[in-house]
C-alpha cells in the first residue's frame, strides 16, 4: 500500500512538473538594434526550431551614445531592463488591441537553457565608435548581470555582430523556407544596410567573402554591411546639409508644383566613381570608404528584400511626398521612400523583388547550432573601428 502510494505521488509530481517532461534545448538571443532590444527564445522541437518572441525594451546603445534622453548614468538601468525581459516573458505581456503583446513562455520550466546571447547591430557599432571605453564597460556589465540571471552552465555571449554576420544570419533565417541556396537578400535597417548572396566566383581575397556551412555543405558567401546607409542615418550621411532636404520633405508635392521623385533623388548623394559610399566604416585608418558589391556580375537571379524593404509599397512615394498620408517617422518618410528605391537601383537589385519578413536572430540560432562559421578561417572584421574588435 505504501509503495503504491509513493508511486502515485511520484507520478503525480512528474505530470505536474514540466521540468520532468522537458527534454528540449533552448537558446536565448536578444536583437539589440538601434531602436530597441527584442528578446527571442528558440526552442528545439523535432529537428526544427520554435520561436518565442518576448518584450521589446530600450536600445542598448542609447546610454553610450547619450541619445533618446539617456545618459551614461542610465547604463545600469538599461542593462537591468534588458535582463528583466527574461523574467517578463514567463508571463503574458500586457494587452494591446485585445491581445497580449507577447505569449508567455516559462523557459525555466519548459526547456533546458543552453545559451544566452545579446547581439548588437549597427546602433552599437556607432556607439563603439563614439565611446569605445564606455561600450566595453556596458558589455562587461551586461555579461555579468546576464550570467547571474541564467545561472551556471549556460553559455553567455554579449557583443556586437560584424556586418558579415548580420547579413549572413538574415540570409540563413530565410534559407529554411527555400529549396536551394540560389538567392540573395538586400536588407535595410535604421543605421546600416546589408547585401548577402552566395558567390562561387568571388575573389577569396575580398574580406567580405567567407566560406560557411549551409545545411552541412560549404558555401562561399558574400556579405557586406554599409554603416550609415540605414534609412535613419542616410539623411545625415548622404545629403549636403546632413538633414532631410527641402525637396525630400514630407508632403513636398503639395507645396511644390510639378514636383517629381527625381528632385529628391538628386539630393541623395549615394555613390560616385568609386562605388557606393560607406560613410561610417573605416579603411586604411580613415573613416569613410566605398564598396561596390558584385551584384550585376556575380549575383544570383533571385532576390529577397528584408528589413525595412519588406514593408515597402509601390504607393509609398506618392503617399508620403504628395498625398500627405500618415506614415511612420513622418518627417523623414518622403526621403526614406525615395531613398530605398534609389539604393536598390544603385545596388542593381530590383525593387520589385519578393519581400521576406525574417529575423536575423533565427539565422544566428541556426548558425550557432550548426557551427556555420567553423569553415571561416580568417578572424572577424569589425570595420566600424580603426582599433579592431572589442
- Does the structure show a pLDDT above 60 at 71? yes
Q: Is 13 helix (H, G, I), strand (E, B) or coil?
A: helix
Stretch 225-247: mean pLDDT? 97
Sort 9 into a burial class: Cβ within 10 Å, 0-12 / 13-18 / 19+.
exposed
What phi and psi, each to the nearest 5 degrees, are found at residue 354? -60, 145
Say how many CA atoms lie within 13 Å of 181 toward its Cβ: 18
Mean pLDDT of 17-26: 61
- pLDDT tens for 187-201 read 999 999 999 999 999
pLDDT at 7 over 80: no
Query: What is the model's pLDDT at position 23?
Result: 60
Q: Which of 345, 321, 347 is nearest to 335 (CA)?
A: 321
pLDDT at 203: 86
Is residue 8 predicted with pLDDT exceeding 90? no
Confidence (pLDDT) at 22: 47
Beta-carbon contacts of 189 under 8 Å, excluding residues fewer than 6 positions away, are 33, 34, 121, 122, 230, 231, 307, 308
- Dihedral angle sign, alpha carbons of residues 150, 102, 55, 233: positive
Mean pLDDT of the chain: 92
Cβ 333 vs Cβ 327: under 8 Å = yes
Average pLDDT for residues 81-103, to the nearest whole number? Answer: 96
| Per-residue pLDDT at 223 exceeds 50 | yes
Given this model, what pLDDT does residue 95 score? 95
CA atoms within 13 A on the CB side of 320: 25
How far apart (Å, rounded) are the C-alpha atoms in residues 137 and 183? 39
Can you tell me whether residue 316 is helix, strand or coil?
helix
Closest to 308 in 3D by CA, of 165, 182, 188, 155: 188
CA dihedral 76, 79, 132, 166 (to 10 degrees): -170
Q: Is the pLDDT of residue 16 over 70?
A: no
The whole-angstrom separation of Cα 68 and Cα 58 is 10
Burial of 207 (0-12, 13-18, 19+ CB in 10 A): exposed
DSSP secondary structure of 145-183: HHHHHH-TT-EEEEEEPPHHHHHHHHHHHHHTT-SSS--
Least confident of 2-11, 80-89, 114-123, 367-376: 2-11
**pLDDT tens, residue by residue, 343-387:** 999 999 999 999 999 999 999 999 999 999 998 878 889 999 999
Binning pLDDT at 50, 70 and 90, where does residue 162 land? very high
pLDDT at 53 over 60: yes
pLDDT of residue 59 exceeding 90, the answer is yes
CA-to-CA separations, 334 to 41, 264, 286, 323, in angstroms, rounded: 36, 9, 32, 10
The mean pLDDT value for 147-176 works out to 96
Q: What is the pLDDT of residue 365?
A: 97
Instruction: Please return the burial class of 276, using the count of CB atoms within 10 Å of its CB with bins 0-12, 13-18 and 19+.
Output: buried
Give the percent of the chain with pLDDT over 90.
87
**Distance from the Cα of residue 95 to its chain's centroid:** 26
Radius of gyration for the chain, computed over Cα atoms and rounded to the nearest angstrom: 23
Percent of the chain with pLDDT over 70: 94
Residue 231: predicted pLDDT: 95
Predicted pLDDT at 206: 84
Q: Give the span between the Cα atoms of 334 and 159, in whole angstroms.
A: 34
pLDDT bucket at 166, cuts 50 / 70 / 90? very high
Assigned C-alpha cell, 292: 561596390
Return d(Cα 346, Cα 341) in angstroms, integer: 9
Asked if the model's pLDDT at residue 14 lies above 70, the reply is no
Evaluate whether 10 touches 98 at the Cβ level (below 8 Å): no
Is it the case that residue 147 has pLDDT exceeding 90?
yes
Give the pLDDT band (50/70/90) at residue 272. Answer: very high
| 217-241 mean pLDDT | 97
**Poorest-confidence range of 12-16, 43-47, 231-235?**
12-16
Amino acid at each position: 500500500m505504501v509503495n503504491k502510494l509513493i508511486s502515485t505521488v511520484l507520478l503525480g509530481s512528474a505530470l505536474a512538473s514540466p521540468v520532468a517532461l522537458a527534454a528540449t534545448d533552448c537558446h536565448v538571443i536578444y536583437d539589440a538594434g538601434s531602436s530597441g532590444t527584442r528578446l527571442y527564445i528558440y526552442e528545439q522541437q523535432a529537428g526544427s526550431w520554435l520561436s518565442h518572441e518576448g518584450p521589446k525594451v530600450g536600445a542598448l546603445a542609447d546610454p553610450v551614445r547619450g541619445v533618446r534622453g539617456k545618459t551614461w548614468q542610465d547604463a545600469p538601468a538599461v542593462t537591468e531592463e534588458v535582463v528583466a525581459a527574461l523574467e517578463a516573458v514567463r508571463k503574458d505581456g500586457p494587452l494591446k488591441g485585445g491581445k497580449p503583446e507577447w505569449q508567455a513562455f516559462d523557459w525555466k520550466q519548459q526547456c533546458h537553457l543552453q545559451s544566452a546571447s545579446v547581439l548588437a547591430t549597427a546602433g552599437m557599432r556607432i556607439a563603439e565608435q563614439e565611446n569605445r571605453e564606455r561600450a566595453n564597460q556596458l558589455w562587461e556589465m551586461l555579461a555579468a548581470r546576464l550570467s547571474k540571471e541564467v545561472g551556471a552552465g549556460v553559455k553567455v555571449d554579449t557583443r556586437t555582430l560584424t556586418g558579415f554576420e548580420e547579413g549572413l544570419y538574415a540570409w540563413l533565417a530565410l534559407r529554411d523556407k527555400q529549396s536551394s541556396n540560389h538567392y540573395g537578400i538586400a536588407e535595410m535597417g535604421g543605421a546600416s544596410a546589408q547585401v548577402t548572396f552566395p558567390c562561387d566566383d568571388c575573389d577569396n581575397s575580398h574580406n567580405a567573402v567567407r566560406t560557411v556551412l549551409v545545411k552541412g555543405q560549404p558555401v562561399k558567401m558574400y556579405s557586406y554591411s554599409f554603416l550609415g546607409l540605414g534609412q535613419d542615418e542616410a539623411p545625415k550621411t548622404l545629403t549636403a546639409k546632413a538633414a532631410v532636404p527641402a525637396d525630400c520633405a514630407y508632403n513636398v508635392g503639395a507645396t511644390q508644383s510639378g514636383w517629381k521623385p527625381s528632385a529628391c533623388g538628386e539630393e541623395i548623394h549615394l555613390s560616385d566613381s568609386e562605388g557606393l559610399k560607406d560613410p561610417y566604416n573605416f579603411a586604411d585608418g580613415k573613416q569613410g570608404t566605398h564598396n561596390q558589391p558584385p551584384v550585376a556580375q556575380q549575383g544570383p537571379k533571385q532576390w529577397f528584400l528584408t528589413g525595412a524593404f519588406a514593408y515597402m509599397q509601390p504607393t509609398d512615394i506618392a503617399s508620403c511626398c504628395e498625398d500627405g498620408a500618415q506614415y511612420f517617422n513622418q518627417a523623414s518618410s518622403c526621403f526614406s521612400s525615395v531613398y530605398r528605391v534609389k539604393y536598390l537601383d544603385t545596388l542593381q537589385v530590383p525593387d520589385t523583388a519578393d519581400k521576406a519578413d525574417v529575423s536575423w536572430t533565427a539565422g544566428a540560432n541556426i548558425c550557432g547550432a550548426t557551427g556555420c562559421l567553423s569553415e571561416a578561417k580568417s578572424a572577424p572584421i569589425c570595420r566600424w573601428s580603426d582599433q579592431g574588435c572589442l
